[in-house]
Each structure stands twice: as structure tokens, then as C-alpha cells.
Amino acid sequence: MTKENRVLFTKEMKKTHKILIPNMMDTHFRIMAPIFKAEGYDVELLHNSGSTVVESGLKYVHNDTCYPALLVIGQMIDALNSGKYDLDKVALLITQTGGGCRASNYIHLLRKGLEKAGYSQIPVISLNLSGLENNPGFKLTFKLLRKLLAGVVYGDCIMQLSNQIRPYEITKGETDELVSKMMNMCSDVLNSNKGYKLKEIEHYCNIIVENFNKIKIEKVDKIKVGVVGEIYVKYAPLGNNHLEDFLKSQDVEYYMPGLMGFSIFKVDNRLEDIKLYGGNLFKKIAVGFLYDYLIKLEEVLYNSIKNNSDFIPIGRFEHTKKLVEGIVGYGSKMGEGWLLTAEMLELIEIGYENIICTQPFGCLPNHINGKGMIRKIVTKNPTANIVPIDYDPSATEVNQENRIKLMLAIAQENLENNLKNKDMN
């Protein structure tokens, strides 16, 4: 299917069609998906998982395609095969970055898969900031963008606080109950056309922090684990075989860098392109405006956590970026690029020296900036304990968990030695 004869999402379809959205981050997407409903779109966040998703991906996507693409497209086609939807009144929405990563081509791979599956009548909507594709019935307005970015901030805030407090809660389950309560609050606020201006975001972030501060904890020494990697397999339970659930079962504290840092990274890449290759003045001003706005959002979130609690706040992008000076060039920007290396260095800096680096099949930049940089990182930081975990259709969950358990065993030994040395001193 060529770009010229692709199926458009029309203004009439906005009234009649349900839009299916693949799920990547439970907390963030459950806040952001309802925002589309407030703008008049009938959306549904997909939660289907299991072997049929992988089988659908393998059947309708070429098997040398990266694992995240296979899962995202497989999840969508599996949902269409479920019989739950009117196939003449359904549409699919997928993000498109516009960069050199295959993520820019997911949309074309998805359309090929739909055609092969007999669903060529189903429109695919591109969610992008690059003007790559337009649809008469779907508009990414400035207001909608601001709401979605506010959702990113709230999602990061809830994720960071809950991950730091859950392992120490006295009343088991209290953290997860509060997570649901705060997500509902954020969704309700955004859907009532509030909560997306800077002052409002600050107000609601402070409320989130205040509520998490009320959870009673018993602080004991536990293994601290950081999780980095390709953005989909780092966050999506479908992509990483429910890695977070496994880490919870191991009674460790884990930290995942937020989505805001990645968002700023993608915008910063455009500025780096202009520095390296040139570009028109209008584009530079527009990208610079967006960059400055994201930095302000990051500052609001950072200050809310830093000034109102003892929690470790989110990383500051400009500081994170400096960590890779002399290690990786800023021109390494495909996929997660230099940010992946920088996040590992940042985790070590804040005390999460035991790191899981999630590596999906087919993502070469991820392997270079992840697994390929481990030796250099460990040389600079000898106490770092990093394990790369491969995710692909043939990788078994048991093998992945065993490799993580080996890393945790080393982490436990290091923790015990550190406690002994502390007692001796």
C-alpha cells in the first residue's frame, strides 16, 4: 500500500470508529489514553498478551524486524483477530518518530501486515510531531500535546515514587492502591481541561508527592537495581516478560529512568542535527521552544520530588547528557543512542549499581550503546554489576530470569560485604 492510496482516518470516522492503542507503559498510558476521549476520540488501550501476540507478529512481520515492532504489530493484529471489534469501524494509532530507527517504519510494516491479514480497509493513524502523515479526522493540537506531556510528567512522578516506596511499605498493597488513586486523579483532572499548565502540573505533582509521603515504611537494606534499555522492552510487560513483577518477587528496590528524559532526548537530537548539519532558522526556533518547554516540565517534576520528600528525584537531562562526554558522541542518537549509556552512568551515580540492560533482537544501536558500552562503564566504575538480557521470540523466560538471579546473587554478596565493612568502621 503506497502513501498515496493509504486509508485515511476521516472526520466522519472520528464519530464512528474505535481507535486501538498498543500499550507500552501501564501507568503513563492509563493516564494518557483517556485524554483522547476528552478530545472526542473513542480509544481503547490494548492489554492482550500471550503467545498469540508473538505468533501474529511472526506471521505478519518479516522475522528480521526488531522485536518491539513484532510485538506492537502482533498485539494489534491479534486484537483484530479476537472478534471483539467491528472491523469496519476500527482504526489503529501508532507513534512515528521520524528518526533513523525502524520505529519510523512501524507504520508501514503495520499496513503491510494488515493487508496480508485481510484488513487493508482499517486506517492507521500516525502520532508524530514531524508532519510525516496527516489525517482529516485526527489532529495533534497544541492543547492535546500539552495534555499528553502533562500525562508523561504525572506518570513519571507516580512511577518514580511508587518504585522507591513499594519494597519498604509496612501495609502490603498500600502503594499499588495509591498508584491507582493517583492515576485516576490525574486522568480526571486532564479530562476536565485542567492540570496541563505549568503551575497546575506543579500543584498536582505536589499532591502526588504528599500522598506517597503518607505511606508508612520500614527502611531496611535491600538490593537496588536499575533498569535501562530499548524503550519498549524496558517498560512494556509484553516486551520484557513482566520484568517488574519478577523484580517485585525478588524483594529488591528497582529504579527505571522516566519517559520525560527520553522525550527531551528526541527533541535534543533535532538540535544536535542542526549543529552538525545545519538547518533553517524557523526549525531551530521551533525545536528550541519545545526543548525549553520540556526542560521546564522536567524542572517542575524534579523540584516537586526534591523539595517535598526524601525520595530520589528524576535525573536532570542536561546533567545526564554531560555524563557521556568523552565516552559516546552525541551523534550516536538512533534508538536510545547515547542516552542509554548515560542512563547507566546516572544509575551508578545515584546508587543503583546493579543494572539490567534490556536488549531486543534487531536493535543494533541499542546493542552498541548498551551491551557494547558495559566494559567501558565497568572500567570507570569497578563496582558496577551490569547484565544484558536479550529479548526475542526464541528467548525463554526461564533463561532470562536465571541470568538476572545470577546478577542479584552477586549484588547480595556485594551488599553483605558493604554492610560488614560499614560495621567494622
Decide: 209 and 158 in contact? Cβ < 8 Å. Answer: no
Residue 182 parent element (H or E): helix 174-191
Give this prediction's pTM.
Answer: 0.93
Question: Alpha-carbon torsion 22, 26, 29, 32, what sign?
Answer: positive
Find cell 492543547 and name the residue: 143
Decide: 68 and 233 in contact? Cβ < 8 Å. Answer: yes
Name the nearest CA neighbour of 68 among 365, 405, 317, 398.
365
Which residues lie below 8 Å from residue 47, measured CB to CB, with a gap of 6+?
A: 23
What is the rounded CA–CA span in Å between residue 79 and residue 76?
5
The rounded Cα 5 to chain-centroid distance in angstroms is 32
Q: State residue 396 phi and psi, 5-degree precision.
A: -90, 145
pLDDT at 131: 66
Domains of the chain: 11-139 (3.40.50), 222-257+315-425 (3.40.50)
What is the rounded CA–CA span in Å between residue 209 and residue 362?
39
For 169, 293, 379, 412, the CA distances from 73, given in Å and listed in that order, are 38, 32, 39, 39
User: Strands 18-21 and 224-229: what pairing?
Assistant: unpaired
What grid cell was written down for 283? 526549525
Taking CA 31 as the corner, what is the angle to CA 30 and CA 32, rounded to the nearest 5 degrees? Answer: 95
What is the rounded CA–CA span in Å between residue 103 and residue 100?
8
Name the nearest CA neighbour of 102 among 394, 364, 372.
364
User: Strands 224-229 and 385-391: what pairing?
Assistant: unpaired
Number of Cβ within 10 Å of residue 26's Cβ equals 18
pLDDT at 331: 87
pLDDT at 2: 45
What amino acid occupies position 92? L
**CB under 8 Å, gap of 24 or more: what pairs does 196-202 form?**
196/143, 196/146, 196/147, 196/149, 196/150, 197/146, 198/296, 198/297, 198/300, 200/150, 201/150, 201/153, 201/154, 201/297, 201/300, 201/301, 202/300, 202/303, 202/304
Name the nearest CA neighbour of 113 among 70, 84, 168.
70
Residue 90 parent element (H or E): strand 90-95
What is the rounded CA–CA span in Å between residue 339 and residue 341?
5
Question: Alpha-carbon torsion 318, 320, 323, 329, what sign?
Answer: negative
Alpha-carbon Rg for the chain, nearest whole angstrom, is: 21
Q: What is the pLDDT along the chain (425 residues), one digit of tens a residue?
A: 445 578 999 999 999 999 999 998 989 999 999 899 888 999 999 999 988 999 999 999 887 788 988 999 999 999 999 999 999 999 999 887 666 666 667 888 899 999 999 999 999 998 877 667 888 999 989 999 999 999 999 999 999 999 999 999 999 999 999 999 999 999 999 999 999 999 999 999 999 999 999 999 999 999 999 999 999 999 999 999 999 999 999 999 999 999 999 999 999 998 988 888 888 888 889 999 999 999 999 999 999 999 999 999 999 999 999 999 999 999 888 889 999 999 999 999 999 999 999 999 888 888 888 999 999 999 999 999 999 999 998 888 999 999 999 999 999 999 988 888 877 76
Helices and strands (H and E) in the chain: how many: 17, 8
